[in-house]
Chain A
């Protein structure tokens, strides 16, 4: 148990559906991240929030919409996804900016399948 909880663990959705992924951290961290992990591809950083403000957005399609209402919660809203968006979506958090003498803690991920 890392202190970062993601729900749901598994999600199957159609291309016209709207769904949301939720991430909650109980570590008192100030930064939160969304990553996409696809088979046989490097881990892709999608979004970074620091103190509830988005600080990075790595050219992610607009069908993915993040929301960070407070420092403990992070959402990823999904709409009109494509089958190639099927992947494991990982949430992470860190005390401050990750890499500045601190490590990130990851949730267990949401396995998303788009049909």
Chain B
């Protein structure tokens, strides 16, 4: 079974400060992990993914995420937040164990608000 949790409904950060949006997961095998961003009244846009390899994954718009197997986490980070980063962020996970669903499961989303 696969599940994902985004423990924060909302994250507030000042412009120029580093930001972190948290994601933890649970799988039986190995995880495939994804981050998506949704701007108001828009669809989801792919940011980055972890399949295998380096634990630090770099994605679009200066975002990166760190895969931590021992903590079963895949937190999204950015060194310096912009007001334009304000959006809804979704983490998704898929269990690579054969026989499971190949469709990733989404978290509930975290609203990021960057203050000027």
Binding site for B on A (CB under 8 A): 2, 4, 6, 33, 41-43, 45, 48, 56, 88, 90, 92, 97-101, 103-109, 111
Contact = CB atoms under 8 A, between A and B. Distances in A.
Interface residues of B, number: 21
A41 B45 CA distance: 19
Interface stretch (B12-20, B63-71, B103-111): B103-111
Given A101-B51, A103-B34, A48 B43 contact: no
Contacts of A92: 43-44
A90 B106 CA distance: 14
A98 B46 CA distance: 12
A105 B49 CA distance: 13
B114 to A, nearest CB: 22
A7 B79 CA distance: 37
